[in-house]
Amino acid sequence: MTEPTVEQLVTPVDLSGVQIYDITDRTHALDDLDYPQTPPAGGAHAPVWLEYGAYEEPVRDENAVHDLEHGTVWITYDPTLPEREVDALVESCRATGSCRRTRACPVPWW
């Protein structure tokens, strides 16, 4: 993995596409839930969270939302992404040590 250049580190990033959600419901639920966005940004969730790491199959939204409540980064990707790109995504997570607080999994929503 190559180190970023100084220009890349100081170049402003366009954040105009970032969306902010007001999450008010943080209750535990055992049922399958409907979320207003895909992938969900928060809300009611399962009482059990997921193990850290990368998954080859989609995970249950309700468990991933529990992880989000505790500050986990949930990286979702298009399930049709070529395997070499998925491998690069997972490897970049492992190389930075961020897999300790990260989940990566395909989400069929594209």
- Picking from 48, 47, 39, the residue whose alpha carbon sits closest to that of residue 77 is 39
Closest CA to 72 of 62, 60, 64: 64
pLDDT digits over 70-84, tens only?
A: 888 888 888 898 999
- The structural domains of the chain, with segments of one domain joined by +, span 48-110
31-69 tens-digit pLDDT = 999 999 999 999 999 999 888 888 888 899 999 999 999
Considering the entire predicted model, what is its pTM?
0.77
Task: Please name the residue that has the structure tokens 């209750």.
Answer: 27
To the nearest whole number, what is the mean pLDDT of the chain?
85
> Is-contact 94 45, C-beta < 8 A?
no
Q: How far lies 12's CA from each of 16, 21, 80, 97, in Å?
A: 12, 23, 31, 25
| Cα–Cα dist 60/29, whole Å | 13
